[in-house]
Structure 1
Amino acid sequence: MSVLGKLASALGRNDEQPNVELAEALAAKPDAAAIAELAGALATGTTAVSNDAIKVLYELGALKPELVAPHAPAFLKLLSGKNNRNVWGALQAIETITSLQPAAVLAQLPAILVAADKGSVIAKDKAVAILVKLAAAGHGSKVLPVLLERLDGAAPNQFPMYAEQAQPVIDAAHREAFVRLLETRLTSIEASAKRTRVEKVLRRARA
Protein backbone atom coordinates (compact mmCIF):
# COMPACT_ATOMS: atom_id res chain seq x y z
CA MET A 1 0.00 0.00 0.00
CA SER A 2 1.30 3.42 -0.94
CA VAL A 3 2.00 5.67 2.02
CA LEU A 4 -0.29 8.23 0.37
CA GLY A 5 -3.20 5.92 1.14
CA LYS A 6 -2.60 6.53 4.83
CA LEU A 7 -3.05 10.30 4.60
CA ALA A 8 -6.10 11.92 6.15
CA SER A 9 -7.60 12.91 2.80
CA ALA A 10 -7.27 9.37 1.44
CA LEU A 11 -9.08 8.07 4.50
CA GLY A 12 -11.91 10.57 4.11
CA ARG A 13 -10.94 12.35 7.31
CA ASN A 14 -11.18 16.09 7.91
CA ASP A 15 -8.85 16.09 10.91
CA GLU A 16 -5.07 15.82 11.15
CA GLN A 17 -4.86 12.81 13.45
CA PRO A 18 -4.06 10.25 10.70
CA ASN A 19 -1.22 12.49 9.50
CA VAL A 20 0.19 12.87 13.01
CA GLU A 21 -0.05 9.12 13.57
CA LEU A 22 1.71 8.46 10.26
CA ALA A 23 4.55 10.78 11.26
CA GLU A 24 4.87 8.99 14.59
CA ALA A 25 4.90 5.61 12.84
CA LEU A 26 7.63 6.73 10.43
CA ALA A 27 9.68 8.09 13.32
CA ALA A 28 9.36 4.78 15.16
CA LYS A 29 10.06 2.67 12.06
CA PRO A 30 11.81 4.78 9.40
CA ASP A 31 10.94 4.08 5.78
CA ALA A 32 13.08 6.13 3.39
CA ALA A 33 10.98 5.19 0.35
CA ALA A 34 7.75 6.28 2.04
CA ILE A 35 9.29 9.57 3.15
CA ALA A 36 10.57 10.19 -0.38
CA GLU A 37 7.09 9.48 -1.75
CA LEU A 38 5.62 12.05 0.63
CA ALA A 39 8.23 14.61 -0.40
CA GLY A 40 7.48 13.94 -4.06
CA ALA A 41 3.77 14.43 -3.45
CA LEU A 42 4.44 18.01 -2.41
CA ALA A 43 4.95 18.86 -6.07
CA THR A 44 2.82 16.25 -7.83
CA GLY A 45 -0.10 15.56 -5.52
CA THR A 46 -3.49 17.22 -5.37
CA THR A 47 -3.89 20.14 -3.00
CA ALA A 48 -5.37 17.84 -0.35
CA VAL A 49 -2.56 15.31 -0.72
CA SER A 50 0.20 17.92 -0.65
CA ASN A 51 -1.37 19.58 2.40
CA ASP A 52 -1.42 16.24 4.20
CA ALA A 53 2.09 15.33 3.06
CA ILE A 54 3.68 18.52 4.37
CA LYS A 55 1.88 18.02 7.69
CA VAL A 56 3.34 14.51 8.01
CA LEU A 57 6.79 15.71 7.01
CA TYR A 58 7.03 18.62 9.43
CA GLU A 59 5.62 16.52 12.26
CA LEU A 60 8.21 13.87 11.39
CA GLY A 61 10.89 16.55 11.23
CA ALA A 62 10.03 17.63 14.76
CA LEU A 63 10.56 14.04 15.93
CA LYS A 64 13.43 12.88 13.71
CA PRO A 65 14.80 15.76 11.62
CA GLU A 66 17.50 13.57 10.09
CA LEU A 67 14.81 11.58 8.28
CA VAL A 68 13.45 14.58 6.37
CA ALA A 69 16.65 16.63 6.03
CA PRO A 70 17.55 15.03 2.65
CA HIS A 71 14.36 16.53 1.24
CA ALA A 72 15.24 20.15 2.00
CA PRO A 73 15.00 21.13 -1.71
CA ALA A 74 11.37 19.96 -1.82
CA PHE A 75 10.49 22.15 1.16
CA LEU A 76 12.36 25.16 -0.17
CA LYS A 77 10.60 24.85 -3.53
CA LEU A 78 7.22 25.27 -1.82
CA LEU A 79 8.08 28.76 -0.60
CA SER A 80 7.25 30.37 -3.93
CA GLY A 81 3.95 28.55 -4.31
CA LYS A 82 0.43 29.95 -4.01
CA ASN A 83 -0.80 27.34 -1.53
CA ASN A 84 -0.53 29.28 1.73
CA ARG A 85 -0.94 26.18 3.85
CA ASN A 86 1.97 24.52 2.08
CA VAL A 87 4.12 27.64 2.42
CA TRP A 88 3.43 27.74 6.14
CA GLY A 89 4.06 24.00 6.41
CA ALA A 90 7.29 24.33 4.45
CA LEU A 91 8.54 26.94 6.92
CA GLN A 92 7.73 24.54 9.74
CA ALA A 93 9.61 21.73 7.99
CA ILE A 94 12.59 23.95 7.17
CA GLU A 95 12.85 25.05 10.78
CA THR A 96 13.13 21.42 11.90
CA ILE A 97 16.07 20.71 9.58
CA THR A 98 18.00 23.99 9.72
CA SER A 99 20.56 22.65 12.19
CA LEU A 100 21.27 19.73 9.84
CA GLN A 101 21.17 21.63 6.53
CA PRO A 102 22.31 25.16 7.45
CA ALA A 103 24.08 25.91 4.16
CA ALA A 104 21.06 24.94 2.05
CA VAL A 105 18.73 26.97 4.25
CA LEU A 106 21.04 29.99 4.35
CA ALA A 107 21.20 30.01 0.55
CA GLN A 108 17.42 30.40 0.42
CA LEU A 109 17.09 32.83 3.33
CA PRO A 110 15.71 35.71 1.20
CA ALA A 111 12.90 33.47 -0.07
CA ILE A 112 12.24 32.23 3.46
CA LEU A 113 11.87 35.77 4.79
CA VAL A 114 9.61 36.85 1.92
CA ALA A 115 7.38 33.83 2.51
CA ALA A 116 7.26 34.53 6.25
CA ASP A 117 6.33 38.17 5.73
CA LYS A 118 3.42 37.16 3.52
CA GLY A 119 2.24 34.59 6.02
CA SER A 120 0.72 34.32 9.46
CA VAL A 121 2.20 35.10 12.85
CA ILE A 122 3.28 31.47 13.07
CA ALA A 123 5.16 31.85 9.77
CA LYS A 124 7.01 34.83 11.22
CA ASP A 125 7.74 32.82 14.36
CA LYS A 126 9.31 30.09 12.24
CA ALA A 127 11.46 32.61 10.37
CA VAL A 128 12.90 33.85 13.66
CA ALA A 129 13.50 30.28 14.81
CA ILE A 130 15.30 29.55 11.52
CA LEU A 131 17.52 32.63 11.96
CA VAL A 132 18.38 31.57 15.51
CA LYS A 133 19.35 28.08 14.36
CA LEU A 134 21.45 29.47 11.52
CA ALA A 135 23.31 31.68 14.00
CA ALA A 136 23.85 28.70 16.29
CA ALA A 137 25.23 26.76 13.30
CA GLY A 138 28.00 29.32 12.82
CA HIS A 139 26.42 31.82 10.43
CA GLY A 140 25.97 34.62 12.97
CA SER A 141 27.88 37.22 10.99
CA LYS A 142 25.37 36.88 8.15
CA VAL A 143 22.11 36.32 10.00
CA LEU A 144 22.36 38.24 13.27
CA PRO A 145 21.88 41.64 11.59
CA VAL A 146 18.76 40.21 9.95
CA LEU A 147 17.58 38.77 13.26
CA LEU A 148 18.04 42.11 15.02
CA GLU A 149 16.12 43.85 12.24
CA ARG A 150 13.23 41.45 12.64
CA LEU A 151 13.30 41.86 16.40
CA ASP A 152 13.11 45.61 15.93
CA GLY A 153 9.99 45.26 13.80
CA ALA A 154 8.34 42.50 15.82
CA ALA A 155 4.82 42.90 17.14
CA PRO A 156 4.63 43.59 20.90
CA ASN A 157 3.03 40.22 21.58
CA GLN A 158 5.85 38.37 19.81
CA PHE A 159 8.80 40.46 20.94
CA PRO A 160 9.45 38.80 24.34
CA MET A 161 9.53 35.32 22.79
CA TYR A 162 11.80 36.45 19.97
CA ALA A 163 14.15 38.16 22.42
CA GLU A 164 14.32 35.01 24.56
CA GLN A 165 15.13 32.89 21.51
CA ALA A 166 17.75 35.30 20.20
CA GLN A 167 19.68 35.99 23.39
CA PRO A 168 21.68 32.72 23.53
CA VAL A 169 23.07 33.20 19.99
CA ILE A 170 23.93 36.90 20.19
CA ASP A 171 27.70 37.21 19.89
CA ALA A 172 30.00 39.91 21.24
CA ALA A 173 29.91 41.86 17.98
CA HIS A 174 26.13 42.24 18.15
CA ARG A 175 25.57 42.37 21.92
CA GLU A 176 25.59 46.16 22.23
CA ALA A 177 23.01 46.55 19.45
CA PHE A 178 20.89 43.82 21.04
CA VAL A 179 20.97 45.53 24.44
CA ARG A 180 20.04 48.90 22.91
CA LEU A 181 17.16 47.28 21.08
CA LEU A 182 15.86 45.64 24.25
CA GLU A 183 16.11 48.91 26.16
CA THR A 184 14.25 50.80 23.45
CA ARG A 185 11.46 48.26 23.06
CA LEU A 186 11.06 47.88 26.82
CA THR A 187 9.79 51.44 27.11
CA SER A 188 6.80 50.64 24.89
CA ILE A 189 5.77 47.32 26.47
CA GLU A 190 2.80 47.84 28.75
CA ALA A 191 1.87 44.31 29.84
CA SER A 192 3.72 43.55 33.07
CA ALA A 193 4.31 39.88 32.27
CA LYS A 194 5.89 40.77 28.93
CA ARG A 195 8.00 43.51 30.53
CA THR A 196 9.27 41.02 33.10
CA ARG A 197 10.31 38.59 30.37
CA VAL A 198 12.19 41.26 28.42
CA GLU A 199 13.85 42.60 31.58
CA LYS A 200 15.12 39.10 32.32
CA VAL A 201 16.59 38.82 28.81
CA LEU A 202 18.15 42.26 29.21
CA ARG A 203 19.85 41.27 32.48
CA ARG A 204 21.32 38.19 30.83
CA ALA A 205 22.47 40.19 27.80
CA ARG A 206 24.24 42.73 30.00
CA ALA A 207 25.98 40.09 32.12
Structure 2
Amino acid sequence: MSIIEQLASSLGRRDEVPNQELAQQIVANGDQKAVAILVENLHHKNKDIQSDCIKTLDEIGKLNPKLVAPHIEALLALLDHKNNRLQWGAMTALNAVANENLKAVYQALPKIIACADKGSVITNDNCVGILIKLCAVPTYADDAFALLNERLLKCPTNQLPMYAENALPIINQQNKSIFVSTLTARLPEIEKDSKRLRVEKAIKKINK
Protein backbone atom coordinates (compact mmCIF):
# COMPACT_ATOMS: atom_id res chain seq x y z
CA MET A 1 0.00 0.00 0.00
CA SER A 2 1.15 3.51 -0.79
CA ILE A 3 1.60 6.11 1.94
CA ILE A 4 -1.66 7.85 0.97
CA GLU A 5 -3.55 4.56 0.92
CA GLN A 6 -2.57 4.00 4.56
CA LEU A 7 -4.12 7.24 5.82
CA ALA A 8 -7.28 7.04 7.93
CA SER A 9 -9.62 8.56 5.37
CA SER A 10 -8.28 6.30 2.60
CA LEU A 11 -9.15 3.34 4.81
CA GLY A 12 -12.63 4.68 5.50
CA ARG A 13 -11.73 5.37 9.14
CA ARG A 14 -12.81 8.38 11.20
CA ASP A 15 -10.32 7.87 14.03
CA GLU A 16 -6.64 8.85 14.08
CA VAL A 17 -5.18 5.40 14.82
CA PRO A 18 -4.14 4.63 11.22
CA ASN A 19 -2.35 7.97 11.00
CA GLN A 20 -0.57 7.35 14.29
CA GLU A 21 0.46 3.85 13.21
CA LEU A 22 1.71 5.18 9.88
CA ALA A 23 3.76 7.82 11.70
CA GLN A 24 5.32 5.17 13.92
CA GLN A 25 6.17 3.08 10.86
CA ILE A 26 7.75 6.04 9.06
CA VAL A 27 9.82 6.94 12.12
CA ALA A 28 10.93 3.34 12.64
CA ASN A 29 12.17 3.25 9.04
CA GLY A 30 13.57 6.80 9.03
CA ASP A 31 11.60 7.16 5.82
CA GLN A 32 12.31 10.68 4.54
CA LYS A 33 10.68 9.90 1.19
CA ALA A 34 7.40 9.10 2.97
CA VAL A 35 7.60 12.39 4.86
CA ALA A 36 8.08 14.23 1.57
CA ILE A 37 5.00 12.49 0.15
CA LEU A 38 2.93 13.62 3.13
CA VAL A 39 4.17 17.20 2.72
CA GLU A 40 3.35 17.14 -1.00
CA ASN A 41 -0.19 15.92 -0.28
CA LEU A 42 -0.92 18.74 2.16
CA HIS A 43 -2.28 20.35 -1.01
CA HIS A 44 -4.30 17.34 -2.13
CA LYS A 45 -7.72 18.20 -3.58
CA ASN A 46 -9.35 16.04 -0.88
CA LYS A 47 -9.50 17.92 2.44
CA ASP A 48 -9.63 14.66 4.40
CA ILE A 49 -6.30 13.66 2.86
CA GLN A 50 -4.91 17.09 3.75
CA SER A 51 -6.02 16.65 7.37
CA ASP A 52 -4.59 13.14 7.60
CA CYS A 53 -1.27 14.28 6.18
CA ILE A 54 -0.85 17.13 8.66
CA LYS A 55 -1.88 14.88 11.56
CA THR A 56 0.64 12.23 10.51
CA LEU A 57 3.38 14.84 10.12
CA ASP A 58 2.59 16.16 13.59
CA GLU A 59 2.88 12.64 15.04
CA ILE A 60 6.19 12.09 13.20
CA GLY A 61 7.46 15.43 14.51
CA LYS A 62 6.74 14.43 18.08
CA LEU A 63 8.53 11.10 17.66
CA ASN A 64 11.47 12.28 15.55
CA PRO A 65 11.48 16.02 14.78
CA LYS A 66 14.57 15.69 12.59
CA LEU A 67 12.50 13.89 9.94
CA VAL A 68 10.06 16.79 9.59
CA ALA A 69 12.46 19.69 10.20
CA PRO A 70 13.58 19.97 6.54
CA HIS A 71 9.98 20.87 5.70
CA ILE A 72 9.54 23.75 8.16
CA GLU A 73 9.02 26.24 5.32
CA ALA A 74 6.16 24.11 3.97
CA LEU A 75 4.54 24.12 7.42
CA LEU A 76 4.97 27.88 7.77
CA ALA A 77 3.27 28.35 4.41
CA LEU A 78 0.14 26.68 5.81
CA LEU A 79 -0.35 29.22 8.60
CA ASP A 80 -2.48 31.43 6.40
CA HIS A 81 -4.24 28.58 4.60
CA LYS A 82 -8.02 28.83 4.21
CA ASN A 83 -8.42 25.35 5.72
CA ASN A 84 -8.43 25.95 9.50
CA ARG A 85 -7.47 22.34 10.15
CA LEU A 86 -4.26 22.88 8.23
CA GLN A 87 -3.59 26.13 10.09
CA TRP A 88 -3.69 24.70 13.59
CA GLY A 89 -2.19 21.41 12.44
CA ALA A 90 0.77 23.27 10.99
CA MET A 91 1.24 25.25 14.21
CA THR A 92 1.16 22.02 16.21
CA ALA A 93 3.72 20.41 13.91
CA LEU A 94 5.91 23.53 14.05
CA ASN A 95 5.89 23.40 17.83
CA ALA A 96 6.98 19.76 17.66
CA VAL A 97 9.97 20.47 15.40
CA ALA A 98 10.86 24.09 16.27
CA ASN A 99 14.04 23.22 18.18
CA GLU A 100 15.50 21.73 15.00
CA ASN A 101 15.51 25.10 13.22
CA LEU A 102 14.80 27.94 15.62
CA LYS A 103 16.31 30.49 13.24
CA ALA A 104 13.65 29.82 10.60
CA VAL A 105 10.93 29.86 13.23
CA TYR A 106 12.20 33.13 14.71
CA GLN A 107 12.26 34.77 11.29
CA ALA A 108 8.64 33.70 10.77
CA LEU A 109 7.38 35.10 14.09
CA PRO A 110 5.20 37.83 12.50
CA LYS A 111 3.33 35.14 10.56
CA ILE A 112 3.13 32.82 13.57
CA ILE A 113 1.71 35.57 15.80
CA ALA A 114 -0.77 36.70 13.13
CA CYS A 115 -2.03 33.14 12.82
CA ALA A 116 -2.37 32.77 16.59
CA ASP A 117 -4.23 36.08 16.90
CA LYS A 118 -7.04 34.79 14.72
CA GLY A 119 -6.65 31.10 15.49
CA SER A 120 -8.12 28.44 17.73
CA VAL A 121 -7.15 27.51 21.28
CA ILE A 122 -4.92 24.75 19.88
CA THR A 123 -3.23 27.26 17.60
CA ASN A 124 -2.53 29.56 20.54
CA ASP A 125 -1.35 26.74 22.80
CA ASN A 126 1.27 25.77 20.25
CA CYS A 127 2.23 29.36 19.50
CA VAL A 128 3.00 29.78 23.20
CA GLY A 129 4.99 26.55 23.08
CA ILE A 130 7.07 27.92 20.20
CA LEU A 131 7.68 31.23 22.01
CA ILE A 132 8.84 29.40 25.14
CA LYS A 133 11.34 27.42 23.06
CA LEU A 134 12.66 30.65 21.57
CA CYS A 135 12.90 32.23 25.02
CA ALA A 136 15.37 29.52 26.01
CA VAL A 137 17.89 30.79 23.42
CA PRO A 138 19.70 34.04 24.38
CA THR A 139 19.76 35.30 20.78
CA TYR A 140 15.98 35.23 20.54
CA ALA A 141 14.99 35.57 24.20
CA ASP A 142 14.18 39.30 24.40
CA ASP A 143 11.88 39.41 21.39
CA ALA A 144 10.29 36.06 22.18
CA PHE A 145 9.59 36.94 25.80
CA ALA A 146 7.97 40.25 24.83
CA LEU A 147 5.62 38.33 22.53
CA LEU A 148 5.02 35.65 25.16
CA ASN A 149 4.12 38.29 27.72
CA GLU A 150 1.58 39.78 25.29
CA ARG A 151 -0.09 36.37 25.04
CA LEU A 152 -0.12 36.01 28.83
CA LEU A 153 -1.80 39.41 29.09
CA LYS A 154 -4.62 38.63 26.66
CA CYS A 155 -5.10 34.86 26.65
CA PRO A 156 -8.34 33.36 28.05
CA THR A 157 -8.09 32.75 31.79
CA ASN A 158 -8.70 29.05 31.15
CA GLN A 159 -5.36 28.85 29.34
CA LEU A 160 -3.37 31.14 31.65
CA PRO A 161 -2.38 28.55 34.31
CA MET A 162 -0.97 26.15 31.72
CA TYR A 163 0.92 28.91 29.93
CA ALA A 164 2.35 30.20 33.21
CA GLU A 165 3.43 26.72 34.32
CA ASN A 166 5.00 25.90 30.96
CA ALA A 167 6.92 29.18 30.97
CA LEU A 168 8.52 28.67 34.38
CA PRO A 169 11.75 27.07 33.03
CA ILE A 170 12.60 30.16 30.97
CA ILE A 171 11.94 32.75 33.70
CA ASN A 172 15.14 34.44 34.88
CA GLN A 173 16.33 37.58 36.64
CA GLN A 174 15.83 39.65 33.49
CA ASN A 175 12.18 38.77 32.87
CA LYS A 176 11.06 37.71 36.34
CA SER A 177 9.47 41.00 37.42
CA ILE A 178 7.45 41.40 34.21
CA PHE A 179 6.25 37.80 34.37
CA VAL A 180 5.12 38.14 38.00
CA SER A 181 3.51 41.53 37.31
CA THR A 182 1.54 40.13 34.37
CA LEU A 183 0.27 37.11 36.27
CA THR A 184 -0.58 39.16 39.36
CA ALA A 185 -2.55 41.66 37.27
CA ARG A 186 -4.66 38.87 35.83
CA LEU A 187 -5.49 37.08 39.09
CA PRO A 188 -8.74 39.04 39.71
CA GLU A 189 -10.07 37.89 36.32
CA ILE A 190 -9.78 34.20 37.13
CA GLU A 191 -13.12 32.91 38.36
CA LYS A 192 -12.24 29.27 39.01
CA ASP A 193 -10.44 28.78 42.32
CA SER A 194 -8.44 25.84 41.01
CA LYS A 195 -7.05 27.86 38.12
CA ARG A 196 -6.31 30.89 40.29
CA LEU A 197 -4.41 28.66 42.72
CA ARG A 198 -2.28 27.31 39.89
CA VAL A 199 -1.30 30.82 38.81
CA GLU A 200 -0.60 31.83 42.40
CA LYS A 201 1.59 28.76 42.77
CA ALA A 202 3.55 29.74 39.66
CA ILE A 203 4.09 33.21 41.11
CA LYS A 204 5.32 31.73 44.41
CA LYS A 205 7.80 29.48 42.61
CA ILE A 206 9.33 32.47 40.85
CA ASN A 207 9.44 34.56 44.04
CA LYS A 208 11.26 31.92 46.11
Does 2:144 correspond to 1:156? no
Query: How far is 1:160 from its partner?
Result: 0.7
- Matching residue of 2:206: 205
C-alpha displacement at 1:45, in angstroms? Answer: 5.0
CA distance in 2, matches of 1:35, 1:125: 25
Structure 2 stretches lacking a partner, 5+ long: none
**1:114 and 2:114 aligned:** yes
Partner amino acid for 1:191? K
Instruction: Please tell me whether the aligned partners of residues 76 and 90 of structure 2 are also in contact (alpha carbons under 8 angstroms).
Output: yes
Percent of matched pairs sharing the same residue: 44
Pair 1:45–1:31, CA change in 2 (3 A): farther
Q: CA RMSD in A?
A: 1.4
Look up the match of 1:143.
144
Q: CA deviation at 1:137?
A: 3.1
Question: Partners of 1:188 and 1:50 in 2: how far apart?
Answer: 39
Q: Post-superposition shift, 1:153?
A: 0.6
TM-score by length of 2: 0.94
Displacement of 1:4 in angstroms is 1.2
Matched with 1:169 is 170
Partner of 2:189: 188
> What is the one-letter code of the residue matched to 2:195?
K
Tell me how far apart the structure 1 counterparts of residues 73 and 172 of structure 2 sit (CA, whole Å): 30
Q: CA deviation at 1:44?
A: 4.4
Question: Where does 1:8-157 land on structure 2 (aligned, <5 Å)?
Answer: 8-44=8-44, 46-138=46-138, 139-157=140-158
Q: Distance in 2 between matches of 1:130 and 1:49?
A: 26
Aligned partners of 2:188 and 2:15: how far apart in 1?
A: 43
Whole-angstrom CA distance in 2 between matches of 1:68 and 1:169: 25
Please tell me the residue identity of whatever aligns with 1:95: N
On the 8 A contact 1:140/1:171 being kept in 2, the answer is no
TM-score by length of 1: 0.94
AA in 1 matched with 2:57: L
